[in-house]
Amino acid sequence: MQFLSDNAASVHPQVWDAMRAADNSDSPYDGDAVSQALDERFSGLFEAEVAVLWVATGTAANCLALATMCQPHGGVMCHEAAHIEVDEGGAPGFYLHGAKLLTVAGEGAKLTPDGIRAAIDPIRDDVHQVQPHAISVTQASEYGRSYRPQELAAIGALAKERGLGFHVDGARFANAVAFLGCSPAEAMGPADALSFGCVKNGAMSAEAIVFRDDTAADLARYRRKRAGHLQSKGRFLAAQLLAMIEGDLWLQNAQQANAAAAEIASACGERLMHPVEANELFVTMSAAEREALRGQGFGFYDWGADAARFVTAWNTREDDATALAKAIAGL
Amino acid sequence: MQFLSDNAASVHPQVWDAMRAADNSDSPYDGDAVSQALDERFSGLFEAEVAVLWVATGTAANCLALATMCQPHGGVMCHEAAHIEVDEGGAPGFYLHGAKLLTVAGEGAKLTPDGIRAAIDPIRDDVHQVQPHAISVTQASEYGRSYRPQELAAIGALAKERGLGFHVDGARFANAVAFLGCSPAEAMGPADALSFGCVKNGAMSAEAIVFRDDTAADLARYRRKRAGHLQSKGRFLAAQLLAMIEGDLWLQNAQQANAAAAEIASACGERLMHPVEANELFVTMSAAEREALRGQGFGFYDWGADAARFVTAWNTREDDATALAKAIAGL
Amino acid sequence: MQFLSDNAASVHPQVWDAMRAADNSDSPYDGDAVSQALDERFSGLFEAEVAVLWVATGTAANCLALATMCQPHGGVMCHEAAHIEVDEGGAPGFYLHGAKLLTVAGEGAKLTPDGIRAAIDPIRDDVHQVQPHAISVTQASEYGRSYRPQELAAIGALAKERGLGFHVDGARFANAVAFLGCSPAEAMGPADALSFGCVKNGAMSAEAIVFRDDTAADLARYRRKRAGHLQSKGRFLAAQLLAMIEGDLWLQNAQQANAAAAEIASACGERLMHPVEANELFVTMSAAEREALRGQGFGFYDWGADAARFVTAWNTREDDATALAKAIAGL
Amino acid sequence: MQFLSDNAASVHPQVWDAMRAADNSDSPYDGDAVSQALDERFSGLFEAEVAVLWVATGTAANCLALATMCQPHGGVMCHEAAHIEVDEGGAPGFYLHGAKLLTVAGEGAKLTPDGIRAAIDPIRDDVHQVQPHAISVTQASEYGRSYRPQELAAIGALAKERGLGFHVDGARFANAVAFLGCSPAEAMGPADALSFGCVKNGAMSAEAIVFRDDTAADLARYRRKRAGHLQSKGRFLAAQLLAMIEGDLWLQNAQQANAAAAEIASACGERLMHPVEANELFVTMSAAEREALRGQGFGFYDWGADAARFVTAWNTREDDATALAKAIAGL
């Protein structure tokens, strides 16, 4: 009974089917019919004209998006617990040619306009200090919290006021939408670009970068090739993306994961370190308690010395979630 | 009847099967059993201890390998027609942080010790000129020529003498081995690293970087993550690589492609611009002749104003090759 | 009466004289006799074989030194108030090709082994997190504190234990040595490289990078040219450096600056935010008090809302220092 | 009697005087009155609104200028003998974050619209090939040839048509203007930026980057700091630049150098490999002849196996030039 992460879960059967079907084409790169359909299909999903690129990983998606917004001498405002800051092996420094991540504090790994201002305002407007060029938020956040549409609107307004780009790392965007019950457009807010995650949600190796602006998307296409991320059989990535949005599979998968997380959360009571607004749970738990759970067959990561992190996935079995809930309740 | 390229050919059934089988694991990144088996399996194939990383594209494979050999202020000697020079969208400049490709002339898109010396020797040994740090050759070359083992040995000796790294871009390594009838170790020569291509040979999205040196491989692991090329479901890439070398599928596929190329070559006579030593044909052909062939349903690229390029793949049908041969003979 | 900074003070007459004398040569770059004498002269000063490069700015000195210790995918541990972190316009990100500064807390803008360990130890040893490659400290620190030799020895021991490079930003190295009363070698500690500052201490446009290791110095020579910092009339920079160490001018200048700072400090009492161990004073002071001082003709920077920073220089007039001391006492 | 290069010649007395005079200020960076006067003074010289930055070297000037025109994934068209291609130690790759120099052939180390088109036109307009973003020419060229105003106009028109930036490396701009007898504006043509060289023409350590566009200049200010090229005592660089243009010292110095070159050229006859249009001579000469000249006390560089390069400077003595002319005539 595995709750380590959603990042290596098995691939959804509909994704497999779509990949198989894509084998029939032989157009290289993104010239195939499936890749060519992405813009239109995602424009429908987001109720706006968007341009979409596939890439194999969330790290590549985030960094290619940010590289369209932040020059090498600039900075990206992000939470101090942001994935780009903590877990991407320095990829932003690579893709942005030495640009700097400027970290911001904030509850629940979420940014607020006040928090961003508190970080930006002390930066002297001169050449000696790295100036902010962009803001990046994670939806849902690294602590499993979801931004409400009005929160994104407020951050977007600040970005606009200060002339900053606005990026959303949506590695678990689907889980946020499923939790919020809003439209994808609302959950993206006024961001310039969104890393629309699929790998953690039933795909194999495809994420979408959603751009509002064609010029940015064109730039990202050059940078994608230059980063070795343009696959000659890209149709298999495009097929994964289309399969995910076909019939709202992405949303159903996320709803299943969220439901499992909610089930577990219901047993955690005051142990919960953060409200559960997606598919991750951060649960206060002693070492002995964790050992006990592991003894019962549950897999999960320690979260510091006194807590554990549980992540559910699209394929988490209801029985497993119930079993974990019971086990936690019984501690 | 498509002879445009081998880079988007369909995926071999055994590769599909291996990928399906890999769905059962849920270890992320390269911690799964399949990824963990790569070093041993490739060490067997190359009759030497090697360390192996999967990546999704040949561009990433080449550039990650070169980044272990060439510092940002150095240069990589390569043929002026090399894929890294001509067709990777500046990826070497990105991955090597501004290092320079130092181009070398040579017949058949192949380097020779003399050619390399002719390019290196005029470089003043001072800080004003970019100094060579590595040599990169392509096996089989961009013009479909294969390096003989003794040719690689000679280049390797020069590299050693000058203290340079030695890399082989093996996007079509299998085709070279199939043509040469030698062992993989012989076709790699004394190179420090090899991009062992699979995508053009029946895989979907996996290439292997084969390192002789563990330290270089470790370095490349950090750089792979930093480049966004560490996939969380990497087991699907590892599975492709193992499927390719299992039962020498890689060699059989290449033999099929080469056989089709040889069949076509047999009809080209003096039209051949280069001896056919892999699965690519460069054929002198007027615009009218090309139009005639296209009128008969053959797909291929123009090669400048007076020639055409034909590429066969693992799945080129024998009938198609025969038909093309006849059509060319009948021009 | 200017106490804004020492970074734009006038040039010492002996420096002017040495520059004039250097006009007679016409050997370009660093081939002139003055440049060629640097290694020997600094080896004498540091009682060890060192290799020395001139550059025009402290930022270039710091970054060229760090680039010999930290690979593009690595990180440099530094204080959160370090000049390289706060005031170099992202130069470390540029020179180190995207490497990351990993900030450490510490009293007086100084690092301690415990502080460094507290920052390093939580870094997971995997490819997802940027690994530390080097440590950089500032002697004297950004808050005007000086590292004792045994403090540097302890940091050096930690660096060695963890396999990290060790760099000292000595923009105000002379002031530290003057305060500590120790030898230059002791004030550098076991560091691999030192940015030996002269511009803030009476020179015009020359800093020395002092390397213990020839290989690192050779690497830095290539990087210096590549950064456009190899001046064809480099003899004028070398001349400045030799003039500074000739007859211990560097030390005398620093002693004068420190004496002026001590004079002012004697009037500050509990207002001092940090012990004065070089030539900078951070003094608690209300806005009204600062206005009063400025009304009396004193120039200085605000330091946040409730303090002021005063910096003395080699050419600070004794009368001015006394006047400032009296004025502060009279607040 | 030294004809090795103009790059290490002594500093003109008026430059020394201006530097001395600048010692009285203590405003740091480029906030001093001398630095602040640059825009206006150069705008007068170029009869147009320009924005001007000082830097210490021509390499930095070229690369900072190019970085405003060429993105990291782009390319800069330049002559295959261009200084940025051959003699800047890979600095363009560093400053442009991996962008590529795309070399062009052309007589006399000069570019022509036809030559540029011949290099650009074969570049496929796709993400696999590095696209040109800018053109860089050298005035006077590396072979001592000067572009006529109409030649620059034609290149500028091509740049505009193709949407490319246009940069002039003017390391010997003064010599070109002195030869052409035209205005500085005409010798710059419609270029977006000019590296206005002074170091080879009597200054010590200052070059000007002249931008037509304020936005580009602002960008370059951030990049200059980030490259460690913002000197805190920048007033000494500004003073050099003002001294050079004061009373047209720059032009007089170049006229002297050119006159000496012309004197020597008059003795070379058919030996001249290129017309002498500035202060460099490339002269066919056997090894024995070179030895003979050196035996007579003349210093110069070999130029390949069968020629020599002679460079005159602002301070070349008339007697020395005459002596060299006679010696060559007497060979």
Mean pLDDT score of chain A: 97
Across A109-134, average pLDDT: 97
- pLDDT for residue A144 is more than 90: yes
ipTM attached to this prediction = 0.97
CB distance B219 to B261 below 8 Å: no
Contact flag D230-A72 (C-beta cutoff 8 Å): no
**Residues near C282 by beta carbon (within 8 Å), at least 6 away in sequence:** C143, C144, C272, C273, C274, C303, C307, C308, C309
Contact flag C100-A93 (C-beta cutoff 8 Å): yes
pLDDT at B64 (0 to 100): 98
Segment 130-189 of chain B within 8 Å of chain D by CB: 130
Contact flag C130-A89 (C-beta cutoff 8 Å): yes
CB distance C245 to C208 below 8 Å: no
pLDDT at D25 (0 to 100): 82
Asked if B227 is an interface residue toward chain A (Cβ–Cβ < 8 A), one would say yes
- pLDDT for residue D24 is more than 90: no
From chain B, pick out residues whose CB is under 8 angstroms from the CB of A236. 11, 204-205
CB distance C97 to C66 below 8 Å: no
Burial of A151 (0-12, 13-18, 19+ CB in 10 A): middle
Tokens of D58: 């021509």
Other CB atoms closer than 10 Å to residue B154's CB: what's the count?
Answer: 19
DSSP state of B83: H
Tokens of A19: 């990949």
From residue A62, how far is each of A234, A266, B227, B244 by CA, in Å? 19, 33, 11, 32
Cα B12 from Cα B16, distance rounded (Å): 7
Preceding omega of B208 cis (within 30 degrees of 0): no
Cα C45 from Cα C43, distance rounded (Å): 5
Q: Please, which pLDDT band fits residue D11 given cuts at 50, 70 and 90? A: very high
Rg (CA), chain A: 20
pLDDT at B230 (0 to 100): 98
Q: For residue C73, what is the nearest residue in chain A, using CA coordinates?
A: A90
Across B281-303, average pLDDT: 97
Place of tokens 């000494």: D236
Tokens of A297: 């067959």
∠A51-A57-A58 over CA atoms, to 5°?
75
Contact flag D72-A73 (C-beta cutoff 8 Å): no
> Which of C98, C128, C225 minimises the CB distance to B225?
C128
Share of chain B above pLDDT 90, in %: 99
DSSP state of D130: P
Beta-carbon contacts below 8 Å between A and C? 59
Query: Range(s) for CATH 3.40.640.10 in chain C?
Result: 13-247
Contact flag D7-C236 (C-beta cutoff 8 Å): no
> Which of B73, B221, B225 minimises the CB distance to C223?
B73
Contact flag A127-D97 (C-beta cutoff 8 Å): no
> Which of C73, C89, C96 minimises the CB distance to A128?
C89
Across B50-70, average pLDDT: 98
Segment 203-222 of chain B within 8 Å of chain A by CB: 204-205, 222
Across B195-203, average pLDDT: 98
pLDDT at A24 (0 to 100): 84
Element (H, E) at C301: strand C301-302
Across B22-34, average pLDDT: 92
CB distance A150 to A257 below 8 Å: no
CB distance B130 to B75 below 8 Å: yes
Q: Please, which pLDDT band fits residue D135 given cuts at 50, 70 and 90? A: very high
Taken as a whole, chain D contains a residue count of 331
CB distance B72 to A245 below 8 Å: no
Rg (CA), chain B: 20
pLDDT at A25 (0 to 100): 82
Rounded to a whole number of angstroms, the distance from the CA of D193 to the nearest CA of chain B is 23
From chain A, pick out residues whose CB is under 8 angstroms from the CB of C171. none
Asked if C228 is an interface residue toward chain D (Cβ–Cβ < 8 A), one would say yes
CB distance C236 to D9 below 8 Å: no
Interface test with A, best of C71, C85, C100, C102 (most A CBs within 10 A): C100
- Could you name the CATH architecture of B13-248? 3-Layer(aba) Sandwich (3.40)
Q: For residue A86, what is the nearest residue in chain C, using CA coordinates?
A: C129
Across A306-328, average pLDDT: 97
Beta strands D207-211 and D51-55, pairing class: antiparallel
CATH 1.10.10.10 given to domain C13-247: no
Query: Range(s) for CATH 3.40.640.10 in chain A?
Result: 14-247
Element (H, E) at A135: strand A131-138
Element (H, E) at B311: strand B307-311
pLDDT at B197 (0 to 100): 98
Digit-coded pLDDT (tens) for B220-256? 999 999 999 999 999 999 999 999 999 999 999 999 9
CB distance B318 to B260 below 8 Å: yes
Q: DSSP readout, B177-209? A: HHHHT--HHHHHTT-SEEEE--GGGT-SS-EEE
Q: Please, which pLDDT band fits residue B278 given cuts at 50, 70 and 90? A: very high
Interface test with A, best of B10, B12, B26 (most A CBs within 10 A): B26
Digit-coded pLDDT (tens) for D180-191? 999 999 999 999
- pLDDT for residue A176 is more than 90: yes
Of 1.10.10.10, 1.20.210.10, 3.40.640.10, 3.40.50.280, which CATH number belongs to A14-247?
A: 3.40.640.10
Contact flag C222-B97 (C-beta cutoff 8 Å): no
Query: Range(s) for CATH 3.90.1150.10 in chain B?
Result: 249-329
For residue B15, give the nearest of B316, B252, B314, B249 by alpha carbon.
Answer: B249
CB distance C27 to C211 below 8 Å: no
Rg (CA), chain C: 20
Digit-coded pLDDT (tens) for A30-58? 999 999 999 999 999 999 999 999 999 99
Across B70-96, average pLDDT: 98
Across D206-230, average pLDDT: 98
Query: Range(s) for CATH 3.40.640.10 in chain D?
Result: 13-248
Please give the distance of CA D66 from its chain centroid, rounded to a whole number.
14
Element (H, E) at D22: helix D13-22
Q: Please measure the distance between the N-terminal and C-terminal CA atoms of chain C and give it in whole angstroms.
A: 17
Please give the distance of CA D188 from its chain centroid, rounded to a whole number.
11
Contact partners of B by the rule of 3+ C-beta pairs under 8 A? A, C, D
Cα B169 from Cα B76, distance rounded (Å): 13
Is B87 strand, coil or helix?
coil
Cα C283 from Cα C272, distance rounded (Å): 5
Contact partners of C by the rule of 3+ C-beta pairs under 8 A? A, B, D
From chain D, pick out residues whose CB is under 8 angstroms from the CB of B97. 93-94, 97-98
Cα B282 from Cα B285, distance rounded (Å): 9
Element (H, E) at D309: strand D307-311
Cα D178 from Cα D197, distance rounded (Å): 14
Asked if A225 is an interface residue toward chain C (Cβ–Cβ < 8 A), one would say no
Cα A291 from Cα A297, distance rounded (Å): 10
Q: What is the pLDDT along chain C (331 residues), one digit of tens a residue?
A: 899 999 999 999 999 999 999 998 889 999 999 999 999 999 999 999 999 999 999 999 999 999 999 999 999 999 999 999 999 999 999 999 999 999 999 999 999 999 999 999 999 999 999 999 999 999 999 999 999 999 999 999 999 999 999 999 999 999 999 999 999 999 999 999 999 999 999 999 999 999 999 999 999 999 999 999 999 999 999 999 999 999 999 999 999 999 999 999 999 999 999 999 999 999 999 999 999 999 999 999 999 999 999 999 999 999 999 999 999 999 9
pLDDT at B215 (0 to 100): 97
Contact partners of A by the rule of 3+ C-beta pairs under 8 A? B, C, D
Beta strands D307-311 and D280-284, pairing class: antiparallel
pLDDT at B242 (0 to 100): 98
Digit-coded pLDDT (tens) for A64-89? 999 999 999 999 999 999 999 999 99
Place of tokens 């920048």: D234
For residue D275, give the nearest of D143, D164, D77 by alpha carbon.
Answer: D143
Instruction: Kindly list the strands in the beta sheet with C74-79, ordered across the sheet, starting from the edge strand earlier in the chain.
Output: C51-55, C207-211, C193-196, C165-170, C131-138, C74-79, C100-104
Segment 9-68 of chain C within 8 Å of chain D by CB: 9-11, 16, 20, 23-29, 32, 55-61, 63
Contact flag D205-C89 (C-beta cutoff 8 Å): no
CATH 3.90.1150.10 given to domain D252-329: yes
Q: For residue C94, what is the nearest residue in chain B, using CA coordinates?
A: B97
For residue D110, give the nearest of D136, D132, D73, D84 by alpha carbon.
Answer: D136
Place of tokens 């446009």: C205
Query: Range(s) for CATH 3.90.1150.10 in chain D?
Result: 252-329
Contact flag B98-D93 (C-beta cutoff 8 Å): yes
For residue A119, give the nearest of A138, A106, A137, A108 by alpha carbon.
Answer: A106
Rounded to a whole number of angstroms, the distance from the CA of C207 to the nearest CA of chain D is 11
Mean pLDDT score of chain B: 97
Contact flag A232-B199 (C-beta cutoff 8 Å): yes
For residue B84, give the nearest of B110, B66, B70, B105 by alpha carbon.
Answer: B66
> Which of A97, A128, A221 minimises the CB distance to D127?
A221
Contact flag A225-D72 (C-beta cutoff 8 Å): no
Interface test with C, best of D59, D85, D222 (most C CBs within 10 A): D59
CB distance D170 to D176 below 8 Å: yes
Segment 84-123 of chain C within 8 Å of chain D by CB: 88-91, 93-95
Tokens of B247: 């039962």
Q: For residue D222, what is the nearest residue in chain C, using CA coordinates?
A: C89
Identify the CATH homologous superfamily for domain B249-329. Aspartate Aminotransferase, domain 1 (3.90.1150.10)
